[in-house]
Homo-oligomer: A and B are copies of this chain.
Amino acid sequence: MKPTTLKQIAELLDISTSTVSKALKGYSDVSEKTKRLVLETAKLMNYRPNSFAVNLRTSESKTIGLIVPEIVHHFFSSVIKGIISQAEKKGYLVIILQSNESYKLEKKQLDLLLSQRVDGILISLANGTGNFDHLNDVLLQNKPLVMFDKIAKIIKCSKVIIDDRKAAYTATQHLVDIGCKKIAHFRGSLLPQNSIDRFLGYKQALLDNNMPYDSSLVYICECGDRSFVEGKESARKLLNEHNDVDGIFINTDLVAIGAMTEFQKLGVKVPEDISIVGFSNWFMSSVISPTLTTIDQPGYQMGKTAFKRLYKEIQQIKRNETVTHKKIVLDTALVVRESTIEAK
Contacts and interface: CB of A to CB of B under 8 A. Distances in A.
In this complex, the member of A49, A72, A77 whose beta carbon has the largest number of chain B beta carbons within 10 angstroms is A72
Interface string A49-79: 1111101100101010000000111100110
B289 A289 contact: yes
Contacts of A41: none
B52 A59 contact: yes
A95 B62 CA distance: 12
Contact of A261 (B55, B112, B142, B289): B289
A216 interface: no
B142 A1 contact: yes
A287 B257 contact: yes
Contacts of A53: 56
A84 B112 CA distance: 14
Interface string A302-337: 000000000000000000000000000000000000
A34 interface: no
B49 A52 contact: no
A80 B88 contact: no
A97 interface: yes
A114 B61 contact: no
A48 to B, nearest CB: 5
Contacts of A97: 84, 88, 93
A138 to B, nearest CB: 12
A107 interface: no
B117 A51 contact: yes
Given A53-B56, A56-B53, A284-B284, A48 B112 contact: no
Interface size, A (range): 35 or more
A258 interface: yes
A98 interface: yes
A85 B99 CA distance: 10
A220 to B, nearest CB: 21
Contact of A49 (B1, B96, B115): B115
A94 interface: yes
A189 to B, nearest CB: 21
A141 interface: yes
A267 interface: no
In this complex, the member of A51, A73, A98 whose beta carbon has the largest number of chain B beta carbons within 10 angstroms is A51
Contacts of A85: 98
In this complex, the member of A52, A73, A142 whose beta carbon has the largest number of chain B beta carbons within 10 angstroms is A52
14 contacts: A3-B117, A48-B114, A52-B56, A52-B59, A52-B117, A55-B56, A63-B95, A84-B98, A94-B95, A96-B96, A228-B287, A257-B287, A261-B287, A264-B289
